[in-house]
Chain A
Amino acid sequence: MAFPAPFQNYALGDAYDEMFAAPAAPREQFQALYDRLQELPLAELRRRKHTADQAFLNQGITFTLSGRDEGMERIIPHDLLPRIITGAEWAVIETGLTQRIQALNEFLRDIYTDGHILNDKVVPRDIIFSCKHFRREMRGVQVPKDIYVTVVGTDLIRTPAGEFVVLEDNLRVPSGVSYMLTSRQVMKRAFPELFQTCDVRPIDHYGQALLATLREQAPDNRSDPTVVLLSPGVYNSAYFEHSYLARQMGVQLVEGRDLVVHDNIVHMRTTGGLRRVDVIYRRIDDDFIDPLSFRPDSILGVPGLFNAYRTGNVTLANAIGSGVADDKALYAYVPQIIRYYTGRDPILNQVETFLCSKPKQLQHVMENIGSLVVKAVGESGGYGMLIGPHSSKAEREDFLARIQAEPRNYIAQPTISISTAPCFIGGSGVEPRHVDLRPYILHGEKTTIVPGGLTRVALRKGSLVVNSSQGGGSKDTWVLN
């Protein structure tokens, strides 16, 4: 059976397709969208696409590539069609991520205090101590309610078998949640009729949930705590998101220069005098947060902040040093970590990973580099990565040399054909493109995941790289009731 218009160029490949089980046979959750797309004339789709893009531009939903030059602000490419997940699929994701994040939080508490998991040799010590995100300074620091990670963005991919698996965790300063929220606003205007028929679960309460999670971590249970969002400033690529979240929560958006530490108490400078700050949702990396404790050349940070934190007078979310748990080499041990702390098997599987620091696995990587994806452990955003099947001989040789020079720095994974979802391409029709999914997890006394997430799309045909810095786009994610 052939695809009807506008799906005339839709070709199903090896990858799992989110929409179609077979040509012209949409999965149940996509039926309404499928029907609607055939009714709407192309011109109408183009009009809706234009309106949506305009809405992003007018609201200033942009990201900056780098530098402060004019014209560097861009809107993140946005696809018009939603990616739809059933309630049953979501239930698995939700329980799986909750289990994973609680285990990782417990792991952080353990390695920064007693180190049981290291003594029991479940995770080798050297992998922790050689990780550049491990902060020796955090040893023995009392973290309020033992909450090390507050906001997590975990990247999931769907394998050809249709199973959601974890690709990586982001436990430092995950970004992109503003795209999830604004994209939903835009989509409500683009497809109001579908929202009614599909019964889409709402995500608008993210701001309140984030604020509530931050407030419950206030030091000494201070009543009516003051929460602020600490941003590196307007030249940061995610500044739009920082200011958007601050507005959604109704908290001050501060920069390092707005804060002063006196007697280990953090204050912000306001026109009415100094105001005590209790909880800082920080969007600055560990390295830059306090020039007295970490990088002395940082001008973004707040001198003395770490000491105030260590004294317990202020809460930082996420905690300093949480990045050790999203190290790509540690990732290989996460299933064991989950078993160790929960006594159960992981609900969500993850991608098989070869550690180049292990001689046997290194050999496997060397021999099979053409079919593997190689990643530098400390990099993110799609940088420092080699996709074997799409690489040239010179690139592979370059990577082999780099791996041999610093094996600890590299891991490899099999190349997975991640799932595809329908996208409105070039104003002329609907075609499949590869997608991933990043749900945002709020972890406090309880764990909250708003139903949905950021679906990132590799808009270039055939490409598997979804990062916005590498030409990726985003689309709205609908979780149905």
Chain B
Amino acid sequence: MDMLSRVADSLYWMSRYLERAEHIARVLEVYLSEQLEEYTGDDNNRWRTVVESIGLQAPDDLVEEDVGHWMAFDLSNQSSIVACIMSARDNARQVREQISSEMWEHLNRLFHRVRAASTTEDWSADQHEFLTEVKEGAHLFQGITDSTMNHGEGWHFIQLGRFMERAVSVSELIKVHFREHIPADDEEHHEGGDLLKSCTAFEAYCKVYTADFKPLRISEFLLLNREFPHSICFAIDQVEVSLKALPQSADRRVGDRALRLVGKLKAMLSFSQIDEIMAIGLPVFLAEIDRQCNQIHIALHQIYIEYPVETAIQF
């Protein structure tokens, strides 16, 4: 049976929001544990950087003590963890009969737990537990999705949402991180460990490069590694796989556009070397990834969701 555009849209956004919630939970956890050790002690604006690294702008009246709460629970912050999980659930609810009941029940339960946590007075005691719950909840949802839902069109839209969000958010994280730390090439780069942890990449990186944190290698790993699931290259590979699995669009001209765009980005990531990237400048390269991801997102939307009626009428 054909899939309704609205359903595809909801599945895509459900997945994006959940990926985003998990990403923020990871970044926040790394920040909070790094806070405890305070080896960056002199840097009073560290928390502002963290907020920026997830693509947000801190409101003027936000103070350092509240940043954790703001990122986790504040509903006026549309990208707080709770707000993201709420949006994921809202989208899932719209398509409840299209996803497996196990998926719905799990997401619903996660939502209720997170909301209950958001109303407790003092969350600082349970910060770690809460953030772990969010991360595990998101992982579990992915596992449930993979093992209970048909790997058909709907599942591919879920994959697209997950990996588009991942590519964009990892790129943002790298951008902000290296804007703050521009150490020389051969220098030991301690903060690099935090960046890797924010992408669950610490252990995976060490297996490839040992615990030797060089900016160049860290960048290479997060941008170009083909095997690590949180690298941008991996994410874009997955986007391509899912895009190819979708049915041909009625209108071939636009249908090929998304594939062409993702192919172009994939080629850029596949055939670039890290010294070339550094030579043109990391920010320039990241901005290009961002721009292309955005184009892919728009193309997806125009082809499958919001296509103009005139072009879609078959004469």
Contact = CB atoms under 8 A, between A and B. Distances in A.
B278 to A, nearest CB: 40
Interface stretch (B138-146, B180-188, B245-253): B245-253
A38 B251 CA distance: 69
B97 A271 contact: no
A38 B97 CA distance: 41
A233 B96 CA distance: 11
Interface string B285-298: 00000000000000
A270 B93 contact: no
Contact of A258 (B4, B248, B312): B4
B309 A274 contact: yes
B5 interface: yes
B210 interface: no
Nearest to A265: B313
Classify chain B: how many residues form its interface, as a range. Answer: 20 to 34
Contacts of A272: 2-3, 247-250
Contact of A269 (B5, B246, B247, B249): B5
Contacts of A250: 1
B94 interface: yes
Contact of B247 (A60, A268, A271): A271
B117 to A, nearest CB: 15
User: Quick one: which of A250, A252, A273 has the most chain B CB within 10 A?
Assistant: A273
B304 interface: yes
Contacts of B312: 273-274
B273 interface: no
B40 interface: no
A258 B5 contact: yes
B4 A270 contact: yes
Contacts of B88: none
A254 interface: yes
Nearest to A254: B4
A233 B251 CA distance: 29
A267 B249 CA distance: 16
B3 A271 contact: yes
Interface in A235-263: 243, 246-247, 250, 252-255, 257-258, 260, 262-263
Contacts of A59: 101
B5 A270 contact: yes
A234 interface: yes
A246 B247 contact: no
B314 interface: yes
Given A258-B4, A260-B309, A271 B96 contact: no
A271 B5 contact: yes
Interface of A: 59-60, 233-234, 243, 246-247, 250, 252-255, 257-258, 260, 262-263, 267-275
Given A234-B93, A274-B250, 19 more contacts: A59-B101, A243-B97, A247-B97, A252-B1, A252-B2, A254-B4, A255-B6, A260-B309, A267-B309, A269-B4, A269-B305, A270-B5, A271-B2, A271-B246, A272-B2, A272-B248, A272-B250, A273-B251, A274-B309
